[in-house]
Structure 1
Amino acid sequence: MERKASVQWKGNIQQGLGEISTESGVLNKTPYSFGRRFGTEKGTNPEELIAAAHSSCFAMAFSAALGQKGFTAETINVNAAVSIEKNGSDWVITHSNLVLRAKIPGIDQNQFKTIAEDAKNNCPVSRLLDTEISLDAALDGGEVRATH
């Protein structure tokens, strides 16, 4: 299985403009720019797209891992925040923080924690990212924190 995306960039880094398209057509010449990435301009940027990929991948991995243990979630809500920081003259993605809130009938906190950590560590996007990945997971008001 292979998924494809393409970009066209015109101009210099600060005033230039890029367009992202995906093979599926979900993104079709979607604009991105320096101001959208490092400033306050509305629009997407690579880190936002990574956050979307990470949160959606983790949710699916968590759902699959629950199913392998005989559980089905009523709801799984995941947010991801991807951080980029200047390191000397380079920009580096330093962290992806996953926040999980789920309602899962019949599961206890220990099972939930184990399954959530496993999904965090084994989701394909987590494996791709060469950065710290943290997880803040809560089930019915309980709280679990794990760092990778």
Structure 2
Amino acid sequence: MIEKYSTALWTGTLKEGSGKVSSQSRVLTDTPYTFATRFENGKGCNPEELVAAAHSSCYAMFLSALMSGAGIVPETVEARSTVKLDATTEGGPTVKAAHLDVKVKAPAEADAIRDFAEKAKAGCPISKLLKAEITLALTVL
């Protein structure tokens, strides 16, 4: 089984504090995020943007794999995932949805591409993750 990780360190209160996120590959290294970057469109990183990046990149790869497996080699697959966070949900902010906008250039009929696109939406690993069980291990220092 392949395992990947990212880490986050948060210090301070929700509104005045700040955090840093890093990825195993080091593509993200102490990338800052704050309340403002998440809830007020401040400049910087935020969790929903990272989920959207994971979703769009995973989806594009999976759609390409499905099409290629059927002998249709796409020239381009451009995917945009928009993750919707409702900050007013009772009990705390909640990610309510993810929407994919996809553009495909490939030597195939539109109906065939549409069928592969729907299969990729349901089958891409990050789409599945968004419906997954979450487990927790806690260490109190």
TM-score normalised to the size of structure 1?
0.85
Unaligned regions of 5+ residues in structure 2, if any? 133-141
Task: Give the deviation of 1:39 after TM superposition.
Answer: 0.5
Deviations 1:100-144 (A, max 9, x none): 101101x1122111100000100000001139xxxxxxxxxxxxx
Give 1:82's aligned residue: 83
Q: Deviations over 1:68-91 (max 9, x none)?
A: 111001111111110000211321
Q: Quote the Cα distance in structure 1 between the aligned partners of 2:78 and 2:22.
A: 27
In structure 2, the residue matched to 1:44 is 45
Instruction: Identify the range of structure 1 (86-95 vs 72-81) with the bigger mean alpha-carbon deviation.
Output: 86-95
Q: Structure 2 CA distance, aligned partners of 1:38 and 1:130?
A: 24
- Distance in 1 of aligned mates of 2:92 and 2:63: 33
1:96 pairs with 2:98: yes
Q: Deviations over 1:2-36 (max 9, x none)?
A: 00111111100001000001111100000001110
Aligned residue runs from structure 1 range 103-118, under 5 A: 103-105=105-107, 107-118=108-119
Spell out structure 1 runs of 4+ moving beyond 3 A: none
Gaps of at least 5 residues in structure 1 are: 132-148
- 1:18-57 matched pairs, under 5 angstroms: 18-57=19-58
Distance 1:119 1:38 in 2: 30
Q: Considering only aligned residues, what root-mean-square deviation do their CA atoms show, in Å?
A: 1.2
TM-score by length of 2: 0.89
